[in-house]
Structure formats: structure tokens, C-alpha cells
Amino acid sequence: MSFDMNQLGALAAQMQQRMAQAKEEATNTEVTGQAGGGLVKVVAMGDQSIRSITITPDAYGDRELLEDLVTAAVNDALRNSQAMLAQKMQSVTGGLPMPPGMF
């Protein structure tokens, strides 16, 4: 069995291209986080940016509670964004673990 470095390089380039495409798709994908049973909802993008925050009028009564709910919803949205990106990358790599910072 011979080892072809050119073929290995081509496969690596192909995987890198698929990973870049998956990352771009993830960047443009919205995920939602929420807290307080939906009193606060946050929409985040795959690039970890926050697109919107929606607060229902029922959440306005207690300022400290509202602050906690917003924080929890933002954290939930960002976790969901990270999980979505990891899932997209895993579909490209076939489940192979990638070094940190690879995507």
C-alpha cells in the first residue's frame, strides 16, 4: 500500500473548504435562548453576536429579576450558538475531534 502525499493534501484542502462553508452557514444561522419560561427571549447568531432581545411586559415588575432573566437568556442563546456550530463542524469532520481553535 503506497502513501500519496498529494492525495492527502487534496483531502485536507477539501475538508478545510467544507469547514469554512459550514462555519459561514453557522454564522448566518439564528438560535434562540430564553429564560423565565419565555419572559425574556434572545436571538443570537452563529458568530456569537446578539441579534435581538424580547422582553414580555410581565417581566417589567422587578428590575433585579429582569436583569437576571436577561443574563440567563443571553447565556442560553450563546450556549445554543456554540452547540450549533460544534454540530455543524462535527458533520464535516465525521465526528473526528479537532484541535482547539481549528474552527
Q: What is the pLDDT of residues 10-48, one digit of tens each?
A: 887 888 888 888 888 888 899 999 999 999 999 999 888
CB burial of 51-62 (b: ≥16 within 10 Å; e: otherwise) equals eeeebeeebeee
The SS3 call for residue 25 is helix
**Model confidence, pTM:** 0.72
Question: Is the pLDDT confidence value at 6 over 70?
Answer: yes
**Strand-pair partners of 35:** 40
Residue 41 parent element (H or E):
strand 40-45
Closest C-alpha among 88, 98, 78 to residue 33: 78
